[in-house]
Amino acid sequence: MHFQNGTERLMFFAKSLIGTPYKGGTLDVAADETLIVRTDSLDCTTFVETVLALYVSSEKVTPEYKDFSDALTNIRYRNGIISGYSSRLHYFSDWVSDNVQKGIVCEVTENNEHEQRCLSLNYMTEHSDLYRKLKDNDSLVSEMRCNEKKWKNYKMPYIPKRLLNLQDTDIIIREGDILALTTSISGLDVVHLGFAVWVDGRLHLLHASSTHGRVLLDPSPLYDYLKNKKKHTGVRVIRVK
């Protein structure tokens, strides 16, 4: 299949997963941390990671499954190495930083009018009872705290949601950009991920939705999706290279 550009190829893979059932927690089922590949059910993060791995591996002349699994491992884990639960890039800010260093993505949030939120990422260790692997596992909580130290008093850029009620000519967000929905929840940076899609000049989110129970192009423009959610503050914009 011939694609005009990388964005078209990326969105081909994203749209090919439309209709896939939503399911959370699929990465935490194994006793030991290992690469888990699911295309029969996805959550917002595994959807974005799977699409990105398909995109990266498709750059090979004759891509094979190992190319895909290697790409997914590289995207999902710190320095591309699986070394226990804490090696997985759980926080989105950590995920972005690591994948920027790998040359896979770049952040373009600050190309737009934006604000900053100063926060310290510690939600997972402060709420360890909410995480299957962290609950009653003090040593793993300690490992996660070490990862979180890097993100103390982090100044996170984001585009406030009030600025998203614009046309495609007024904001620097491209089709296929990864959109991370930011939050005011203490100790947490983002709460949801998807891909940007422009429909009749309005920005929409292609995502794995727990509300709709599947991967879909959300029928509501992103501004409408966010405006009445009090803890949703806006978006970060990550561009795939």
Helix, strand, or coil (residue 202)? strand
Which residue has tokens 């992103």? 222
User: For the chain, percent helix, then strand, then coil, each to nearest 5?
Assistant: 35, 25, 40
Nearest 10 degrees: Cα torsion 139, 140, 141, 147: 120
pLDDT of residue 125: 98
pTM of this structure: 0.95
Question: From residue 146, how far is each of 62, 74, 78, 121, 235 by CA, in Å?
Answer: 40, 21, 13, 11, 27
Residues in the chain with pLDDT values less than 70? 1, 167-170
Cβ within 8 Å of residue 6, ≥6 positions away: 55, 240
Cα separation, 143 vs 163, in Å, equals 38
Cα separation, 66 vs 76, in Å, equals 15
Residue type, 135: K
Cα separation, 68 vs 25, in Å, equals 21
pLDDT of residue 187: 98
Reported in sequence order, the residue ranges of the chain that DSSP labels E, i.e. its strands, are 105-107, 115-119, 154-160, 178-183, 190-199, 202-209, 214-217, 232-240
pLDDT of residue 169: 57
Question: From residue 187, how far is each of 124, 132, 139, 214, 223 by CA, in Å?
Answer: 8, 19, 20, 28, 24
Return the bridge partners of 21, or none. Answer: 214
- Taken in order 164, 169, 171, 173, the sign of the CA dihedral is positive
pLDDT of residue 80: 98
* CB of 222 closer than 8 Å to CB of 162: no
Which residue has tokens 């029928």? 219
